[in-house]
A = this chain, B = another copy of it.
Amino acid sequence: MRPAESSSTTPASPSRFDVVVVGGGVIGLSVAWRAAARGLSVAVVDPAPGSGASHAAAGMLAPVSEVTYTEEPLLGLGLTSLARWPAFAAELARESGQELDLRREGTLDVAFGADDLAALGELGAFMEKLGLPVERLTGRECRRLEPMLAPSVRGGLLAPDDAWVDPRRVTRALRRALAGRGVPVLRERAAEILVAGDTVTGVRLASSPGTTADVRPAFSGALDTAADARPSPDTAADVRPAPGPDTAARVVNAGCVVLAAGAWAGGLAGVPEGVLPPVRPVKGQIMRLRSAVPVLSRCVRGTVHGSPVYLVPRGDGELVVGATQEELGFDTRITAGGLWELLRDARELVPGVTELEVADVVAGLRPGTPDNLPLIGPTGLPGLHLATGHHRSGVLLAPLTADLVVDGLTGAADPGHPCSPSRFEDRA
Contacts and interface: CB of A to CB of B under 8 A. Distances in A.
A70 interface: no
A333 to B, nearest CB: 4
Interface string A340-357: 100110110000011111
A361 B344 CA distance: 17
A223 B334 CA distance: 11
Interface residues of A toward B: which range? 20 to 34
Contacts of A224: 218
Given A218-B219, A219-B221, A221-B218, A358 B339 contact: yes
A217 to B, nearest CB: 6
A336 B361 contact: no
A222 interface: yes
A409 interface: no
B361 A337 contact: no
Contact of A335 (B222, B336, B339, B358): B358
A358 B224 CA distance: 18
A289 interface: yes
Contact of A343 (B222, B336, B356, B359): B336
A216 interface: yes
A222 B217 CA distance: 6
A148 to B, nearest CB: 13
A340 B337 contact: no
A372 interface: no
Contacts of A343: 336, 339-340, 343
Contacts of A344: 340, 344
A357 B340 contact: no
A220 interface: yes
A354 B334 contact: no
Interface string A206-231: 00000000001111111110000000
B361 A334 contact: no
Contacts of A336: 287, 289, 343, 346-347, 353-358
A121 to B, nearest CB: 31
A357 B337 contact: no
Interface in A334-391: 334-337, 339-340, 343-344, 346-347, 353-361
A354 B333 contact: no
Interface in A312-342: 333-337, 339-340
23 contacts: A218-B222, A218-B223, A218-B224, A218-B357, A219-B220, A219-B360, A221-B334, A289-B336, A333-B357, A334-B358, A335-B354, A335-B357, A336-B343, A336-B346, A336-B357, A336-B358, A337-B354, A337-B355, A339-B339, A339-B343, A340-B340, A340-B343, A344-B344
Interface of A: 216-224, 287, 289, 333-337, 339-340, 343-344, 346-347, 353-361
Given A336-B357, A340-B344, 7 more contacts: A218-B223, A220-B220, A334-B357, A336-B346, A336-B353, A336-B355, A343-B343
